[in-house]
Amino acid sequence: MTKYVEIRQAGRRIEVPEGGTILEAALADGIAYPHGWHSGRCGSCKSRLVSGEVDLLDHSRFALSEEEKAQGLILACRAIPRTDAIVAWLGSDEETASHPRRRLNCRVKAIKDATHDIKHIRLTIVEPMSLGRHRWSKRLCRSLRNAGCGAKTCMPTCFLRPEKHRRRRPRKPA
């Protein structure tokens, strides 16, 4: 049965299909939810469960300790809702997703094996990217100006190394 989860910073209520995690549903709905590996190992998607109940799949105690669980924290990548819920990723209440999800035209620059089941994919972005008006971009622009780059719109390859690490996951049986 589908559950509904409100994500505070996004100001949206999303459907989470039976057996799906909050993070999977949020990303599928276009919400720029903070995340890393999707495997309960990094803690990047650590969130506060404001209301409702979730089942947590296996995860690292370093990503989410027992004390944090007792304080109402969850990992969105490992949380399967049992009831309708409200969650908020960690940060200030006014904080919103700092960089919305979007498509960029890229070329694959290199593919290497990081481990037996993870590929390290390096991309080159082939279109200009506006830095926007976000805190991180202002700090980045200041440091770039100090390094001799003063453009408001840059080719990100001059300062970012767009990379993707993909873990091969077994397909779920239908």
Q: What is the mean pLDDT of the chain?
A: 76
Higher pLDDT, 60 or 92: 60
Q: How confident is the model at residue 164 (pLDDT cuts 50, 70, 90)?
A: low
43, 60, 89 - which closes a domain:
89
Number of domains into which the chain is organized: 2
The pLDDT of residue 152: 44
pLDDT exceeds 70 at position 159:
no
79 shares a domain with 34: yes
Boundary of a domain, candidates 61, 89, 117: 89
* pLDDT-derived band at 157, boundaries 50, 70, 90: very low
Q: What backbone torsions phi and psi does residue 37 show, to the nearest 5 degrees? A: -95, -15
Rounded-to-integer distance, Cα 58 and Cα 6, Å: 23
Residue-range definition of the domain harbouring residue 158 = 106-167
Minimal CA–CA distance to 76: which of 11, 134, 136, 8? 8
Cα separation, 95 vs 9, in Å, equals 6
Q: Return d(Cα 120, Cα 14) in angstroms, integer.
A: 31
Inter-residue long-range contacts of 136-145, CB under 8 Å, 24+ positions, other chains counted = 136/98
**59 is a domain residue:** yes
Tell me: pLDDT of 56 over 90.
yes
Least confident of 54-63, 81-90, 127-136, 157-166: 157-166
Same domain? For 70 and 121 the reply is: no
**Burial (0-12, 13-18, 19+ Cβ within 10 Å), 74:** buried
